[in-house]
Structure 1
Amino acid sequence: MIYTICITCTVYEALEVLEEKNLGALVVVDESGKLIGIFTERDYARKVVLKGRSSKETHVSDIMTDDPVFVSPDTEIEYCMQLMTNKFIRHLPVIENNELTGIISIGDIVKHVINSKDFIIQHLEHYIVS
């Protein structure tokens, strides 16, 4: 499931969704559902709390990260890791045919790497025993 927030919503509304869904980021979309930004806990901490703004009066559009880096469904995991590391980001929207189809988090990447290593270890153990 992809959780989104509208550009005109307040930061407070976005924080409510983050808390309710236990998320670290929301994809910001326009009226047509097109990706226009990302709102993260980091955006909130740096652009609201530290600047003395009010989360009930500040709009998501005022603090979101616009022009987000995104990937396609066929983007290799290693490239996603490289993008996240180089750009200091933790979330990558997935776009296919100009439509938002998902989002990859750093947690998703870590789970994939661990599962891949577990599979290799199991395969090697089976090979050694056989």
Structure 2
Amino acid sequence: MTTVGQILTDKGHQIHAVTPDHSVFEALELMAKKDISAVLVIEGERLVGIFTERDYARKIILQGRTSRDSRIGEMMSQNLLTVSPSQTVEDIMAIMTENRFRHLPVVSQGKLIGIVTIGDAVKAMLDQQQQTIRHLSGYISGELNPN
């Protein structure tokens, strides 16, 4: 089973973040530059929230606010669930599905070490399935010895 740690090893541990004092516009600029749909919100070394495209649509656009005058600290999602590197892709898929999240920060020993997305989870599941198919095909064709 693929773990969150393995996903991060493959994709990297890069984190894109802003502070609560940044404007929504600054966060959107970073998201556009990095071609990502969410940024983590960090205060000092502490993870305090996440700001996503969904937050922008619901809290800025629909409420008639402006992104230049709105601060991330007022618009971010604060009820964060985090995952550990030892959790499996099946674990994170269940968390994402149940909570309708598409991004999960990864924390190890109290330290933020990365973020996994629904796309990362789907890719890992597809890779697992392809590996299983190759193994079973090899076994059926006699190319693999079960012992």
TM above 0.5, yes or no, is yes
Alignment RMSD:
0.8
Rg: which structure is higher? Answer: 2
Long gaps (5+) in structure 2: 1-13, 143-147
TM-score, reference length from structure 2: 0.85
Could you tell me how far 1:76 is from its partner in structure 2? Answer: 1.8
What secondary structure sits across from 2:54 in the alignment? helix
Q: Are 1:114 and 2:121 matched, yes or no? A: no
1-structure distance, mates of 2:17, 2:131: 34
Could you tell me how far 1:67 is from its partner in structure 2? Answer: 2.7
Quick one: higher RCO (CA 8 Å, sep 6+), 1 or 2? 2
Write the letter of the residue equivalent to 1:62: E
> Residue 136 of structure 2 is aligned with which of 118, 124, 130?
124
2-structure distance, mates of 1:121, 1:78: 18
Write the letter of the residue equivalent to 2:97: T
TM-score, reference length from structure 1: 0.96
What secondary structure sits across from 2:64 in the alignment? coil
> Residue 11 of structure 1 is aligned with which of 24, 30, 38?
24
Long gaps (5+) in structure 1: none
Question: Runs of 4+ in structure 1 displaced over 4 angstroms?
Answer: none
Q: Are 1:105 and 2:96 matched, yes or no? A: no
2-structure distance, mates of 1:128, 1:19: 47
The residue aligned with 1:84 is 96
Matched positions, count? 129
Q: Are 1:66 and 2:78 matched, yes or no? A: yes
Write the letter of the residue equivalent to 1:117: Q
With 75-84 and 103-112 compared, the bigger mean Cα shift is at: 75-84
